[in-house]
Every structure is written in C-alpha cells, then in structure tokens.
Structure 1
Amino acid sequence: MSQLINKAEYGYNAVGNRTSLTDRRGPQNFGYDSLDRLTSASHPLLLDPQAFAYDAVGNRTTGGSVVNQGNQLTADANFSYQYDDNGNLTRKTLLATGNSTQYTYDAENRLTQVQEFAAGNPTPITTSSYRYDGLGRRIEKVANGQTKRYIYL
C-alpha cells in the first residue's frame, strides 16, 4: 500500500523563476525585479513577508545580509562583521547577545590569535594562539592550556 506523504505544486513566471509553491505547509509566494532577483518571499510560518533589496553591483542589502563597498559581508541575520585594511575578518559579534570573537593577524595575514569575549567584558573568555614556520604553515596552536603541534613531512 502506498501513502502520499506530501504534494507540492509550483508556479513559474515567463522566464522560469518560481513564483509560488503550495505544499502541506501552505502557499509560498516569491516576487522578482526586472533583473530576476528575488525581491519578496512569503510563507505561512513567517509573521511578515520578507523583502529583499540590492545595491548597484547586485549585492543583497536587505533581507538577511549586508555587504560593504569592498564586497565584504558586514551583517547577516545573526552576526555583524568587521575587517582590517587587508580584508581579514577581525571581529564577529553575535547580535542577540553582544558576545564577540576577535581575530588577530600577523604581517603576512596569517591568523595568530582568536579571542572570545562576553558582551561588555574586556577580558577574554577563551584565547587561542597560532604559530607558523618559515613556509607559512601552521606549526602550533595553544588553546585552553593545551598545545597542539603540527609536523609536516
């Protein structure tokens, strides 16, 4: 005996973008701009429809993520991000709590330290440090009082 688990019906516009999906959860609808970029989405489980906007180079600026002029992610639904002048991620902050992770790099842009902070506390909760050999390979990690060494043959 076979039993139907789920049934889905899809709708598409003239250029093939999915405009609707109806399944056991209910109807979902999707809207697009003239460049075929997603601009809206609705779902029965969402309180409000989602709206999406884009900058001049096509990066999504609303609806979950934001990028800067350097095309770097600066925020998403959960975190904010900061970068140094070399493009290295230097801080990631959890928006819900304010807890953050700080990343430090050497002159060769190699990760040398990772520190986690509770919101508003200048003393790190954890610190991990990294060392490299002359070829730029990671040879040591020190975290939580434990040292791991890496050997390359």
Structure 2
Amino acid sequence: MPTTCWAASSKRPHPNPLIKPERYVEHAYNPIHRRYEYDPAGELSRTLDKLRGETQYEYEANGQLLARNTGRVVDGEEFRYDAAANRLNFNTSRFDHVKDNRLKQWANHEYKYDAWGNLIEKVVGIVRWQTFTYDCENRLVKTETMADTQVESTSSYQYDSLGRRVAKQSE
C-alpha cells in the first residue's frame, strides 16, 4: 500500500509490537474527553468523543479517506478521488471533478474564490454568509459574518514586515 511522503514520517511502528496505537485522553473530572483508535496501517479508524459520540473512518487501499460515519445521516461524509488523487466534488447522485482545485459547493455551503484562488465568500443556506478580504500579498485582512442581513461579526488582521499575522481585532 503506497504511503505519501508526508504521512510516512508520522506512522513509525512502536518498538514493542504488543502496544497498539491508541490514545486515551480521559479524566474523571473532565467532562470532555476523546479516544482515538488507529488501524494497523496507522490511519485513524475511530474516535469516541463524550460530546459528539462515535465516529468511524474508512480508507481506500492507497490510504485516501473514503468515508466518515457518525451513525447519523446528516453528519456522514463520503469522499472520492480521480486517478491523480484529486478530490472529486460530490453532487447528489454522482461525483464531479473539482474545477481548478476549488470546491464550489458542498452540502448547503457555497464557496466563491477570486482570480488568485483566495476564498472570498462562503454562504451557508440562505441566511448566513461570510466575506473575506485580502491584501495585495494574498494575506487575509478582513472577515465579515452576516446573518439575516445583519452584520454578526467583523474581524481585521494585521501583519508584520515578514508577513506573519501579529494582530486580530474583532467587533
């Protein structure tokens, strides 16, 4: 089974083969905990979350994520890929190519991009959307969230001379 180079370094087998790659994060006093379980290939196979419940993950033979199942119809996701390992866009009864490597629609979300590939608008349903503004160096400088034609929140971002984000101001 081929493994991508970025994933290979994170899948080192434990020196003791009797130890399974599982992580338990559970404290009696903590109302939030999550348990992670991995398959023999090192892929995440299941999470148990006190808040969200159980989530199972399925993978193709090449290690690409095939599905995320929560047991609830509205939360499950399926993923498909073309021969070049590009993710395909799921459209009701068939999978389409994601044109220009930009996801335009998923479930009840719509996405719009500028000519440089920056996300400029995200619409959820018919009553909620976000707009994103970038500077000449493609750095996010402003976000605005609207709900029912009312401005819900606005955030501005500032960068230093090296292009690192150094400030966020929200209203």
Provide the TM-score with structure 2 as the length reference: 0.46
Count the aligned residue pairs: 107
Q: Deviations over 1:80-128 (max 9, x none)?
A: 1011111011111112x43001111000000000100124x2x522100
Any stretches of 5+ residues in structure 1 without a counterpart? 1-43, 145-153
Q: Residue 89 of structure 2 contacts residue 98 of structure 2 at CA under 8 Å; is this kept in 1?
A: no
More helix by share: 2
Distance 1:104 1:124 in 2: 15
Q: Deviations over 1:28-55 (max 9, x none)?
A: xxxxxxxxxxxxxxxx976xxxx99988
Residue of 112, 132, 135 corresponding to 2:141? 112
Q: Over aligned residue pairs, what C-alpha RMSD do you find? A: 4.1
Q: Percent same amino acid among aligned pairs?
A: 36
Residues 90 and 66 of structure 1: CA distance in aligned 2, closer, same or farther (over 3 Å)? farther
Structure 2 residue 167 is matched with structure 1 residue 133: no
What are the residue-to-residue correspondences of 1:1-153 with 2, within 5 Å? 59-63=87-91, 68-95=98-125, 97-119=126-148, 121=149, 123-144=150-171
Distance 1:134 1:53 in 2: 41
Provide the TM-score with structure 1 as the length reference: 0.51
Distance 1:52 1:70 in 2: 18
